[in-house]
Amino acid sequence: MPSTPAEQLAPLISADDLQARISELAREIALAFAAQTPVLVGLLKGSFMFMADLARALHRQGMAPTVDFMIVASYGAGTQTSGSVQLLSDIETEIRGRPVLLVDDILDSGHTLDFCLRRLRRDRPAQLRTCILLDKPARRVIACPTDHVGFTVPNEFIVGYGLDYQGRYRELPGLAVLNISADTPTGRKTNILI
Ligand code: IMP
Ligand code: MG
């Protein structure tokens, strides 16, 4: 008889470790932009928590970035990228001639970042760098420039700290690996994610 899949979370990166790494990223970013003031462009929804902490960490480095967001969608209900990215909401900021830092939660196939970089380049920013909290290189399909990376992660489905599974788990203060298992007819557990 089919059973309801069970979701299990395995801690991956603690809230404290995230904050420590974000402080280091802010130092790197402050050096890279020198005395310039970048526009931070975050990709919603996944990057909302990272953007908030990164903006505060940049403030502690003496920077006064402005903040804008794009809403993009590439995922259906499951965990695999669809490959086609949709722009649901664009930035409002005039970025022509300005330094821009594109901020995202996780780089997986690369479709999302590639799409957003192309969109932003059209407006001819003076400088365009990327800051990605998590890099999952095992699943890359499109090569993307990653200037600032928080952590390299294994090929697992990760939730928490803004990252979701079907809209859930974004509120977790740390990151966890999500495993979903279901009983097979033989009584063995099988992982049905990825
Ligand atoms: P990409 O276009 O395949 O690089 O996927 C990027 C987007 O997919 C990210 O911004 C996330 O929203 C989502 N994503 C990719 N991997 C994961 C994951 O492990 N957990 C949660 N969301 C993910
Ligand atoms: Mg995302």
100 is written with which tokens? 């821009």
Question: d(Cα 9, Cα 179) in Å, to the nearest integer?
Answer: 6
Rounded to the nearest whole angstrom, what is the distance from the C-alpha of residue 141 to the centroid of ligand 1? 13
Q: Is residue 108 among the annotated active site residues?
A: yes
Pocket-testing residue among 13, 106, 130, ligand 1, by greatest number of atoms within 8 A of Cβ:
106
- Whether the predicted pLDDT of 27 surpasses 60: yes
Pocket-testing residue among 133, 163, 178, ligand 1, by greatest number of atoms within 8 A of Cβ:
163
Q: Which of 53, 104, 105, 108 is catalytic?
A: 108
Strands 99-107, 175-183: pairing is unpaired
- For atom 11 of ligand 1, the residue with the nearest CA is 106
Rounded to the nearest whole angstrom, what is the distance from the C-alpha of residue 50 to the centroid of ligand 2? 11
> Phi and psi for 60 in degrees, rounded to 5?
-65, -20
- For atom 5 of ligand 1, the residue with the nearest CA is 108
For residue 194, which of 79, 74, 83, 76 has the smallest C-alpha distance? 79
Q: Are 193 and 179 in contact (CB under 8 A)?
A: yes
Pocket-testing residue among 108, 112, 117, 191, ligand 1, by greatest number of atoms within 8 A of Cβ:
108
Q: Are 173 and 22 in contact (CB under 8 A)?
A: no
**Per-residue pLDDT band at 183 (split at 50, 70, 90):** low
pLDDT digits (tens, 9 = 90+) for 32-68: 999 899 999 999 999 999 999 999 999 999 999 999 9
Calculate the CA 160 to chain-centre distance. 11
Question: d(Cα 176, Cα 53) in Å, to the nearest integer?
Answer: 18
Residues with CB under 5 A from ligand 2 (ion): 46
- Whether the predicted pLDDT of 191 surpasses 60: no
What are residue 68's DSSP bridge partners? Answer: 41
- For atom 12 of ligand 1, the residue with the nearest CA is 46
Helical H segments across the chain, by residue range: 15-33, 48-60, 111-121
Which ligand has the minimum distance to the alpha carbon of residue 111? 1
- Whether the predicted pLDDT of 79 surpasses 70: no
Rounded to the nearest whole angstrom, what is the distance from the C-alpha of residue 133 to the centroid of ligand 2? 11
pLDDT of residue 74: 80
pLDDT of residue 121: 98
171 is written with which tokens? 């509120």
Rounded to the nearest whole angstrom, what is the distance from the C-alpha of residue 1 to the centroid of ligand 2? 36
Strands 175-183, 158-159: pairing is antiparallel
